[in-house]
Amino acid sequence: AFLDPPVWEALGTGTDDIVYALAWGLYSSPPFDRLGVGGAFTMAGGLPASGFAYWNLNGFDGGWSTVDPLLPPQGGGIPVVHTIAAFQHGDYLRPFNVGGLFRVPDAGSPTGFSNNIARLLGINDDWFGLDGAGVTSDGNHAVRIIAPAVDQSGPATFVGGEFASFN
C-alpha cells in the first residue's frame, strides 16, 4: 500500500504472499521510476512472479510488471527475496542488488550460478551475479541485508545474513 495523503491506497491487487523488502529505483534512460518489491510471493498483480516484481510509475501506465524468474535455492522451495538495495551504476541511476534465498544463472561463476545475491540491471531487466558464486549455505540460510557504498576504488557492496562462506 502507499500513502497519498490523507488516503492509503492499494498497489493493484498486490501479491499473493509476504513482502519483505521495498526499494525505489530511478532509471535515467528512458526516465521512469520503479518500486522494487521482494518477498515470498509467486504472484504480483495477478502476474507470475518468483519473489521479485516491480510497481511501475512514470512512463508506464502504473501497475505491476515482472522480470525473468529467480531460480529456487539449492535446497529447493520457492525463491525468496529478503532485501533490496538501490545503487548507482553508469546510466542506470538505481538498479537493484537483491539478496535472499535463490539462484540466478551466471556464466562468470565457477558453478554457473550465483547464490542468494544478484543484481538486476538494464532496460531488459537482466539478472547478474555479483562477481563470483555469491554466498553459500546449506540451502536454508539467506542474505538478509545489503548495503551499497562507494569508496576510493568505486562501488562496494556489504552483505549480512546467515551464510557459510562467500566467493
Rounded to an integer, the average pLDDT of 148-158 is 77
Cα–Cα distance, 47 to 38 (Å, whole number): 14
Q: What is the pLDDT of residue 106?
A: 76
- Per-residue pLDDT of 83-124, as tens digits, reads 998 876 555 555 788 999 988 887 667 777 788 888 887 667
- Per-residue pLDDT reduced to its tens digit, 15-67: 999 999 998 876 655 556 788 899 999 999 999 999 999 888 754 457 898 88
pTM value?
0.85
CA distance 165 to 167: 7
Residue-level pLDDT at 89: 59
Q: Does 136 score more than 90 pLDDT?
A: no
Query: E-assigned strands of the chain?
Result: 2-4, 7-9, 19-28, 31-39, 43-44, 47-48, 52-57, 63-66, 80-86, 96-105, 113-121, 126-128, 135-136, 143-151, 154-161, 165-166
Q: Mean pLDDT throughout 139-167?
A: 78
Residue 27 pLDDT: 61
The residue-averaged pLDDT of 67-95 equals 79
